[in-house]
Amino acid sequence: MKTLTIRLTAPLQAFGNQASFARRTTAPYPTKSMVIGMIAAALGYARTDPRIQDLNQLDFAVRVDQPGQLLTDFQTVEWKRNTRKITYRDYLQDAVFVAAIGHADDDWIERIATALKRPRFQLYLGRRANAPAGVLKMQLFAGAEPIAALSQLEWQAAPWFQRRHHQQATYSAQVYADKHLLSTGAVKLLRDQVQSFDQRDRRYGLRASRQTRVELANPRYQAAKTDHDVWAEL
């Protein structure tokens, strides 16, 4: 078993859960289908390539290192001549996540890591305008499943966010994972299993998910000073 962790951050990210012409919302963390789409783009798969289905076999978990703030944008679209409509788009701003993918085939994980370093098609985080903030930071963990890898990987939040929590020795990060990767916890069904990325026939099946938390050391931790003598200042 080998696991690849991928740091996901950008000024804006969006992970569609429900979509219509008038409103496109975002999930609060990256979906497995989004990560599969990014991997497929890196490998050079067309939207109709049947090999995309194989990527559903990857074990998947995602850690929320820095929750983003919701931003809603609106656009005026001229749909027909002299007909204009307002549409709303939700985004996450200043968010940092770590996705972990694993599989028993170590060579497959290494090929994916190589492809993400040299992608065939453009990579983006949810929508085409949301390019990653620079080169993806990745790390391979040998002999570790995604949950174990996310427990070992240091906290990936921005320095300013870590300083905001300087009074905490550890940061409790939320983790969302495939059901079989966690033995306890409530099961949630998500419409997040890729069936087709074809723009004329996009389809997603149900994927079972569980959630947990992992404790991460805070490198910006500063212990509170308790030896201050107020009378010495008088």
Write the pLDDT tens digit of every residue in 212-233: 999 999 999 987 766 666 666 5
Amino acid identity of residue 29, one-letter, is Y
CA 234 to CA 231: how far, in whole Å? 5
Of 133-137, 175-179, 226-230, the least confident: 226-230
What are the C-alpha distances in Å from 45 to residues 122, 176, 198? 12, 26, 12
CA 25 to CA 31: how far, in whole Å? 13
Q: At what angle do helices 106-117 and 32-43 cross, to 10 degrees?
A: 70
Over residues 55-78, the mean pLDDT reads 93
What are the C-alpha distances in Å from 185 to residues 105, 196, 207, 210, 211? 28, 30, 15, 6, 7
pTM of the model: 0.90
- Smallest CA-to-CA distance from 87 within 16, 12, 21 is with 21
- Taking the CB of residue 78, how many other CB atoms lie within 10 A of it? 9
134 class by beta-carbon count within 10 Å (0-12 exposed, 13-18 middle, 19+ buried):
exposed
The top-level CATH class assigned to 2-222 is alpha beta
- Cβ contact 13:30 at 8 Å: yes
Structure-block tokens of residue 24: 């496109």
172 class by beta-carbon count within 10 Å (0-12 exposed, 13-18 middle, 19+ buried):
exposed
CA 113 to CA 76: how far, in whole Å? 39
CA 139 to CA 36: how far, in whole Å? 18
Domain map (residue ranges) of the chain: 2-222
Mean pLDDT over each residue of the chain, to the nearest integer: 92
CA 102 to CA 1: how far, in whole Å? 7
Write the pLDDT tens digit of every residue in 81-132: 778 888 888 999 999 999 999 999 999 999 999 999 999 999 999 988 899 9
Whether 4 has a pLDDT exceeding 70, the answer reads yes
**HEC per residue, 65-127:** EECCEEEEEEEEEEEECCEEEEEEEEEEEEEEEEEEEEECCHHHHHHHHHHHHCCCCCCCCCC
